Amino acid sequence: MYLEHFGLARRPFAPGPDPTMLLLTDRHREALVRLLYAVGEGKRLMAFTGSAGVGKSVLLARAAADLRSGGATIALIPAAGRGVGALDRQVRVSLGLRGDASLRAENYSALRERPGERIALFLDGAEGLSESALAEVERIAGLDSDGAAAVTVVLSGREPLAERAASLRSRLDLGHRLEPLDRAETGHYVAHRLRVAGRAEAVFVPEALDEVHEASRGRPGSINAVADLALLAAFQRRAAEVTPAHVREVVAEMDAWTGRASGT
């Protein structure tokens, strides 16, 4: 609705992970390197954690794309809310395996017959895995192929995963926590997405970006939600720029609906 008004070719703050919009800040670049290293070096088990909306899913997608371009086999599975059977079927299809639909490590022994091939299982939303599913995933990570890991398992999820991963610490080869953006990074993030969407000039005045950062706590998912509605509010008033008043208005509305902007 506001695209023509602001000279945009596409929505800059659409919800959901979008690798084409990815801005690699120093902290995101560090996380990406850790993910690539875990698979490239044949690590067994990695925990990748962070709060909701901080950008874990889009980084997993970018890492999976980079690794696949290098010949690796990557199963990127949204695990949250999935039963064991559904999870197993999707993993099998992604890894090219056959057999009974049962998430048991012994049914993944065929991975041992693919030495030299980089194989990884990225489980997004892993904090939602049941205890039994998590235990089997650990066992899958323990499969050997000529003395090396047959498959690298990356468990990605919110803070509850970090608490559960504490009990797995002796088995973890690698762990990384993705932190929210700081104020300067929030400004770069907003400008980057506007630029990719076709707008080179600034739309948000600096004070409006202060408000966006405070409301979102630097989490890209929340930045997107706030910035999208702030653009709409400015458009409705035929404003050429997004001001702090526009941001405060939509944050108040969002807090009244769900508290999403303030992270509750």
Measuring CA to CA, which residue among 128, 134, 122 is closest to residue 158?
128
Residue with the two structure tokens 């999208």: 228
DSSP notation for 108-134:
GGGGGG-TT--EEEEEETGGG--HHHH
CATH for the stretch 26-177:
3.40.50.300
**Pairing relationship of beta strands 119-124 and 148-149 according to DSSP bridges:** unpaired
Do residues 24 and 210 touch, judged by C-beta distance below 8 A? no
What is the topology classification, in CATH, of domain 182-257? Helicase, Ruva Protein; domain 3 (1.10.8)
In whole angstroms, give the CA distance from residue 77 to residue 62: 14
Domain boundaries, the chain: 26-177, 182-257
Per-residue pLDDT of the chain (264 residues; tens, 9 = 90+): 899 999 999 999 999 888 899 999 999 999 999 999 999 998 989 999 999 999 999 999 999 999 999 999 898 988 765 667 777 777 777 777 766 555 566 666 677 677 677 889 999 998 888 777 777 788 778 776 555 678 899 999 987 777 776 667 777 889 999 999 999 999 999 999 999 999 999 999 999 999 999 999 999 999 999 999 999 999 999 999 999 999 999 999 998 887 554 443
